[in-house]
Amino acid sequence: MSHTDAPAAAASGARATDKFRHKEVRADTPPERLSAIINDTLQGLFEVIRRHKITYAEYDAVKAWLIKVGEDGEWPLWLDVFVEHEVEEVSTAHRQGSKGSIEGPYYVPGAPELPARARMPMRPDEKGTPLLWKGQVTSVEGTPLGGAQVELWHADDDGYYSQFAEGMGIPEWNLRGTIVTDEEGRFEIQTMQPAPYAIPMDGATGQMTVAAGWSPFRPAHLHVKVSAPGHEQLTAQLYFRGGEYTDDDIASAVKPELLLDPQPRTDGGAGKEVTYGFVLDPVA
């Protein structure tokens, strides 16, 4: 696929921003805490300015770039790529169950509900390597969590997400589904192994990445949100051991506990097979 065929960053960014605008956002942060956070953020910024002796030309360039991030609708992308991993680490430090990771900007609620043994919604000619994923959802005490929901979404073999690749002809819910575990908390999902991809490069986020000389790539990954009544929702990304960019992820979101180890299918089918389950913490 040529670069000119790819959807523009502005269109993808606008879609991500629109999705976020419909998300219920309520932090209830008291004024004293908010004041402390803002002051510490500013003091950190002032320290960077002093340490690097920022010039007015650089200051104006930053202002112009900040305006462009907004015009491109890329604040969800930029924040999720460069900031979210730290928020996730702090917010989940108390957990004893499975490790999580960032959500990223491409989550869409309401994906079609599927049974415990399911095939992900996909095109008849979906490209890529078939992937069979088996797992179980349990509590930290080891109790199987029947009826748990495993929301799964991921990019296709070209690195594009449905609903965020305008003009690519990808069906609305392609490679997006909500799998409900059986009474033993088990699930078995047939999907396609996703590809690594570069974050959008023709917008403000890509402009910054190129200017800094950084790699823009994310390793291939599966996104999940796992939930069950009485338990904390787990958001994670699962990566592939030995895959490209797992040691150089632009989003700094890879953790050793999140690496899958694909093996030949035990049922003789085409493609690969992985086994990976989730342990959910109780709601405090």
Does the pLDDT of residue 149 top 80, yes or no? yes
pLDDT tens for each residue of 83-118: 999 999 999 999 999 999 999 999 999 999 999 999
Percentage of the chain exceeding pLDDT 90 = 84
Q: Give the start-to-end residue ranges of the domains of the chain.
A: 3-280
Determine the pLDDT at residue 8: 58
Report the DSSP beta bridge partners of residue 238: 222
Element (H, E) at 225: strand 221-227
Domain 3-280 has CATH 3.50.50.60: no
Determine the pLDDT at residue 273: 97
Determine the pLDDT at residue 23: 72
CB-based contact 164:200 (threshold 8 Å):
no
Question: What integer is the mean pLDDT of 24-31?
Answer: 85
Determine the pLDDT at residue 11: 65
Burial annotation 246-272 (CB, 10 A radius, 16+ → b, else e)? beebbbbbbeeebbbebeeeeeeeebb
Question: What integer is the mean pLDDT of 145-155?
Answer: 98
Among residues 104, 79, 105, the alpha carbon closest in space to that of 19 is found at 105
pLDDT tens for each residue of 1-11: 434 355 555 56
Determine the pLDDT at residue 4: 39
pTM of the model: 0.88
Question: What integer is the mean pLDDT of 38-46?
Answer: 97
pLDDT tens for each residue of 67-91: 999 999 899 899 999 999 999 999 9
Q: List the structure tokens of 120.
A: 């992900």
Distance between the two ends of the chain, CA-based, in angstroms?
Answer: 48
